[in-house]
Amino acid sequence: MEKNKMSKPAIFMHSVIIVTCLASIICFTLYYGNIYKSEVVLWTGITAFTIMYHFWMRIIMGNVTKLFKKHITYKQWWFKERKFEKKLYQKLKVKKWKGKALTYNPATFSLKEHSLEEIANTMAKSELDHWVNEAISVSTIFFSTIWGQFWIFLITALCAMAFDSQFIIMQRYNRPRILIAMQKEKKKSLKQDTIILNK
């Protein structure tokens, strides 16, 4: 059995983590080691560190939530569709752009490898991951207690939150459609069973 290949978004994220980790180490060593005291060096290091933190924490927390995967299902209250959502997603034109969004692990959403119910549960887990990511984004504001510049960290946190919100919207848009397909599949299966029993 072949192992799933790492997707392009996953390769990109891991590459960014490596590059920004090295950049932040070099810049902080130069600045705090009094080798080259420059605000440009310091803020290059801070920027690299913040980017690394965003990406690395998302991967870590995504793996942490896997431990609770069996307890995360589309049937839970939080993942239920709300009355206002359909109109909101129409205004946001989600249908037009949802297919262009990057997916960290596309294989988990494959209809060839998974049942509709498994995909619905994966969507719930993915949505939860991105809600956790929202909290991670907010946590970067606390870096301002070390380096100051509160507004810079606030703006970057809000940008990161806006980025993750697209994935939350996408999962909440797609999941009801998967549930409709599940209902149709069940009805078809029941109909076939009835025909067999009546023969």
Q: Is the dihedral of CA 92, 94, 96, 99 positive or negative?
A: positive
Q: Tell whether the torsion through CA atoms of 66, 75, 112 and 105 is positive or negative.
A: negative
pLDDT computed for residue 3 by the predictor: 52
Q: How far apart are CA 168 and CA 127, in angstroms?
A: 5
Per the CB < 8 A criterion, the answer to whether 45 and 24 are in contact is yes
- Over 90: is that where the pLDDT of 190 sits? no
Task: Name the most confidently modeled range: 94-98, 106-110, 169-173.
Answer: 169-173
Predicted local confidence at residue 2, as pLDDT: 42
Quote the pLDDT of residue 118: 92
